[in-house]
């Protein structure tokens, strides 16, 4: 599929979606009326552009106006992570949960999985987290085995690996070096374990040319496993997951219509960077139309080496809202993470973004005080200058306090990045 057409199946699903929203969504009824939109004329991607974007602010301000079913028909209540703003509620019907299962089964199979695998799920399935629910349901849909360990606790992770022999881990990739260090410190022969691959969630493991980034290199230099990258969000209720070729996450066109818009507002060309815009297909509870994710990815339209010709997305370069202007240089947080991930002495860090007295962005890297010495500081500053041309402030605190700042009880994911 190229950047100007959608499939016949998608056209039919889009028309169903528009009619469904026109009948059931207070928000989209208002949007269609205010913009004099005749939904019967929307039959192509170019027609779709007649409809204004939906953004996170719309969801935050009019949350329940997006709900298309009676609340008595809601089977599962989830919220967004609230990284940059207050969490937004999403309502899932039983059919929406089934759709999640279909998506994740397809995604995990794309990454080389099968019913013969045992997956160790190292992410939460509570705390209103859609991803954990999706993985659990998808693995069950595949008829594969699942070990639900949840996040953290290297002891429990290795005890489970040794007890149940999982073949695939689903984890936040920055946790994997800690898992490896624990194995080394405790004499665990991790290189000969049952684990053959890791599905990485929440953080990129590749550069824009699909080579491993510093975190990916760090993992692969220590452990001979297949790494598969994923990109997903609560809003899209779907995922872009890499195949075994590792050349970007594949679109599932049955579940999403994808647009990638460059800075000029045009469709991004093959290999070009743009903002990811999604229209959800087959969602009952809270469907979205032309939703601006804020995520910036490179898009690829040519067929993958695996033979699949669906559109692919490269790793998230950054979020528009997370663009930092620091000492005259434009930076996205993943570039800062890359420098920290390539520094072997660093196991744990937090990046703090604030405003100085002049209203300009300021970056502070918070590390364990065990690293507080002049030699290390000079090494890290030189690494920052070499990679991103500027040097953030470096602040050291006790390891217990750093752990408490990053791994908060009320948060579903480690807080590597905070805005103050």
pLDDT per residue over 262-280, tens digit each? Answer: 988 899 999 999 999 999 9
CB 351 within 8 A of CB 381: no
pLDDT per residue over 138-155, tens digit each? Answer: 999 999 999 999 988 999
Cα dihedral across residues 294, 76, 104, 146: positive or negative: positive
* Gap between the Cα atoms of 380 and 118, Å rounded: 40
Tokens of 20: 């469904």
Based on the structure, what is the number of domains in the chain? 2
CA neighbor of 316 nearest in space, from 226, 240, 225, 219? 240
CA neighbor of 83 nearest in space, from 392, 322, 299, 390? 322
Q: What is the DSSP string of 251-287?
A: P-TTTEEEEEE-TTSSBPPTT-EEEEEEEESS-SSS-
Tell me what pLDDT residue 6 has. Answer: 65
CATH number of residue 368's parent domain: 3.30.300.30
Tell me what pLDDT residue 1 has. Answer: 43
Cβ of 164: how many Cβ atoms within 10 Å? 14
Last residue of a domain, one of 291, 318, 345: 318
Last residue of a domain, one of 265, 292, 318: 318
- Please give the average per-residue pLDDT across 97-114, as a whole number: 96
Residues 236 and 94 in one domain: yes
Of the listed ranges 189-198, 262-271, 382-391, the one predicted with least confidence:
382-391
Last residue of a domain, one of 289, 318, 347: 318
* Gap between the Cα atoms of 147 and 216, Å rounded: 24
HSE of 25, CA atoms in CB hemisphere, 13 A: 24
The range of the structural domain enclosing residue 375 comes to 323-419
- Please give the average per-residue pLDDT across 91-96, as a whole number: 97
* Gap between the Cα atoms of 281 and 312, Å rounded: 18
Q: What is the DSSP string of 339-368?
A: HHHT-TT-S-EEEEEEE-TTS-EEEEEEEE
Query: CA of 412: how far to CAs of 105, 125, 127, in Å?
Result: 23, 9, 7
CATH number of residue 266's parent domain: 3.40.50.12780
């Amino acid at each position: 599929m190229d950047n100007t057409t959608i499939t016949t199946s998608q056209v039919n699903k889009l028309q169903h979606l528009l009619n469904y929203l026109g009948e059931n969504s207070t928000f989209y009824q208002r949007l269609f009326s205010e913009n004099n939109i005749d939904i019967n004329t929307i039959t192509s991607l170019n027609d779709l552009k007649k409809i204004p974007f939906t953004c996170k602010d719309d969801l935050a301000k009019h949350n329940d106006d997006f709900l298309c079913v009676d609340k008595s028909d809601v089977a599962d209540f989830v919220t967004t992570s609230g990284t940059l703003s207050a969490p937004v509620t999403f309502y899932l019907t039983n059919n929406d949960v089934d759709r999640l299962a279909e998506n994740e089964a397809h995604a995990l199979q794309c990454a080389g999985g099968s019913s013969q695998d045992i997956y160790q799920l190292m992410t939460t399935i509570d705390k209103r987290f859609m991803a954990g629910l999706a993985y659990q349901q998808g693995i069950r849909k595949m008829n594969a085995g699942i070990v639900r360990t949840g996040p953290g606790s290297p002891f429990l992770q290795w005890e489970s690996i040794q007890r149940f022999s999982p073949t695939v881990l689903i984890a936040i990739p920055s946790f994997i070096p800690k898992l490896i260090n624990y194995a080394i410190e405790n004499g665990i022969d991790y290189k000969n374990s049952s684990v053959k691959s890791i599905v990485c969630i929440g953080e990129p493991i590749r550069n824009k040319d699909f080579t491993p980034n510093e975190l990916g290199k760090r993992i692969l230099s220590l452990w001979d496993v297949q790494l598969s990258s994923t990109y997903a969000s609560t809003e899209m209720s779907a995922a872009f997951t890499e195949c075994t070729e590792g050349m970007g996450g594949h679109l599932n066109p049955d579940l999403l219509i994808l647009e990638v818009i460059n800075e000029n507002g045009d469709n991004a060309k093959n290999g070009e960077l743009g903002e990811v815009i999604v229209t959800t297909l087959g969602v009952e509870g809270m469907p979205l139309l032309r939703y601006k994710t804020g995520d910036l990815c490179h898009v690829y339209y040519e067929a993958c080496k695996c033979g699949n010709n669906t559109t692919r997305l490269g790793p998230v370069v950054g979020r528009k809202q997370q663009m930092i202007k620091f000492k005259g240089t434009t930076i996205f947080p993943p570039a800062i993470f890359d420098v920290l991930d390539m520094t072997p002495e660093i196991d744990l860090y937090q990046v703090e973004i604030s405003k100085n007295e002049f209203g300009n962005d300021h970056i502070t890297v918070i590390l364990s005080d065990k690293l507080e010495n002049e030699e290390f500081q000079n090494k890290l500053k030189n690494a920052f200058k070499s990679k991103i041309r500027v040097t953030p402030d470096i602040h050291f605190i006790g390891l217990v306090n750093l752990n408490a700042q990053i791994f908060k009880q009320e948060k579903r994911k480690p807080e590597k990045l905070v805005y103050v």
